[in-house]
Amino acid sequence: MTLMAGIIALALVGVALVLVSLVVRSSMGARDKRRAEATERLRPLAMELVDPDDDQGAPAPVLAGMEAEVFGDLLVHYSRQLRGEAEDRIAAYFEAAGEVDAQRRRLTARSERARVDAAFRLGDMASAAAVPDLLRAMEDPSLDVRAAAARSLGRLRAAETVEALISAAVTERVADPVVGIALLEIGPPAVPRLITLLDDPDPHHRAAAVRLIGLLGSAAAEADELPALLPALLRDMSADVRAAAADALGRLGASAGRDALIQLLHDRVAFVRAAAARALGQIGGQTVTEALLEVARADEFDPAADAAQALARIDPALVLTAAEAPDAGPHLREAADRLEL
């Protein structure tokens, strides 16, 4: 009797759960449908706001509730893809609607999720008014909030925050790639600050600055001083700096560093030699093949493997021939096998 009652109770609970799940799913489906309809309805208004027919443009619509959310989402999406006057109009809308202030307040919320969300959202509202708050958010105890703030400062192309961004990377409060992307968004104004840091007495700062210059790639290549400065860093006391400088020269394709990189293939530290080999593979040139061949044949595992791959990139025919020799070693043969795949 008791067993039967238990079975019936469990069955009832199961049926109730299924019903609740159906109701929730149906309600979510209806909400999604309403949002999709609102998106279609509001898209022409959003397009008119970001790209009006005349200088004055149409007045911004006054919206509330879900419609305001949907309209905001459309503008945020446009803000990621557009610049110039369109971005200014998006910023003006969010400022006038009180959205920028609301998100600035959320940056101090107790909930970490809310702070991350606000830091991220402010970057897409295109309003420079958020820059001081985002700079403060770079000191947040949460790594995710700091990363979102750094990303948003880049999105806002806040050149005045370059030093704070670099400092966050150097002190490892924000990951290098996040800062690198932010600096890439800011573009050329970031480069002079990075160049100043190349002389920093702290090798961690020098290495971080060099890595960021490498990440900036073509934007950094516009700085005339770099071809002269980076090869000098290949002789730095710190192995991290030497390796980072080799990587940066490779990414920049700076042929001015070719001779110094060939010398670096004899560095006392294996990961520096490997970085030099990779960089020479990116820079290329027939003058480097002999030196790479020697490393590929005789060095330790990582430098030899990277040298063989670099050589395959520069002169595939040479690798195929060299791999036939009795003293070729495993790395040249591996590179040749890959070429034949």
Partner 1 sequence: MSTDPAAAVPVIVAADDDQDILRLIAFRLERSGYRVVIAHDGEEALNAVREHVPALAVLDVRMPKMDGYEVTRAIRADEATRDIPVILLTARVQDADVQRGFEAGADDYVRKPFSPQELRSRVQAILGRR
d(CA 334, CA 341): 11
- Residue 133 CA, distance from chain mean position: 21
Q: What is the smallest separation between the CB atom of 81 and partner 1, expressed in angstroms?
A: 5
Stretch that binds partner 1, among 18-26, 128-136, 182-190, 195-203 (CB under 8 A): 182-190
Binding mask 11-40 for partner 1 (x = CB under 8 A): ------------------------------
Binding residue for partner 1, selected from 50, 137, 234, 336, defined by CB under 8 A: 50
Q: Which is nearer to partner 1, 282 or 289 (CB)?
A: 282
Give the residue with the Cβ less far from partner 1, 78 or 207: 78
> Which 3 state secondary structure label does DSSP give 276?
helix
184 near partner 1, judged by CB under 8 A: yes
Using DSSP, state whether 64 is helix, strand or coil: coil
Pick between residue 84 and residue 201 the one whose CB is nearest to partner 1: 84
Q: CB 118 → partner 1: shortest distance, Å?
A: 22
Residue 37 φ/ψ, nearest 5 degrees = -65, -40
Q: Is 43 in the site for partner 1 (CB under 8 A)?
A: yes
Question: Minimum Å distance from CB 241 to partner 1?
Answer: 26
| Identity of residue 221 | A
Pairwise CA distance, residues 194 & 95, whole Å? 33
Write down the H helix ranges in 97-234.
99-106, 112-123, 131-137, 143-155, 162-170, 176-186, 191-197, 203-216, 218-221, 226-233
User: Which of 238, 255 has the CB closer to partner 1?
Assistant: 255
Q: Give the CA count within 13 Å in the CB-facing half-sphere of 42.
A: 22
Give me the least distance between CB of 84 and partner 1, in Å please: 3
Query: Euclidean distance between the first and final Cα of the chain, in Å?
Result: 72
- State the nearest-atom distance from the C-beta of 182 to partner 1, in Å: 12
* 94-102, 108-116, 181-189, 302-310 -> range binding partner 1 (CB under 8 A): 181-189
Measuring CA to CA, how many Å separate 228 from each of 48, 254, 256, 273? Answer: 50, 10, 8, 21
Other Cβ atoms within 10 Å of 168 Cβ, number: 25
Smaller CB separation from partner 1, 84 or 98? 84
Helices (DSSP H) in 217-328: which residue ranges? Answer: 218-221, 226-233, 239-252, 258-264, 270-283, 289-298, 301-314, 316-322
Kindly state the smallest distance separating residue 54's Cβ from partner 1, in Å: 11
How far apart, in Å, are the Cα atoms of 115 and each of 102, 140, 143, 333? Answer: 12, 9, 11, 53
Q: Which of residues 219-248 bind partner 1 (CB under 8 A)?
A: 219
User: Any contact of residue 47 with partner 1 (CB under 8 A)?
Assistant: yes
Interactions with partner 1, residue window 83-142 (CB under 8 A): 83-87
Rg (CA), the chain: 28
Q: Is 51 left (phi over 0), alpha (psi -120 to 50) or beta?
A: beta
From 61, 112, 128, 187, residue interacting with partner 1 (rule: CB under 8 A)? 187
Would you say 26 or 218 has its CB closer to partner 1? 218
In the complex, the smallest distance separating the C-beta of residue 195 from partner 1, rounded to whole angstroms, is 18
Between residue 66 and residue 85, which ones bind partner 1 under the rule CB under 8 A? 74, 77-78, 80-85
| Interface residues toward partner 1, by CB under 8 A | 43-44, 47, 50-51, 53, 74, 77-78, 80-87, 184-185, 187, 217-219
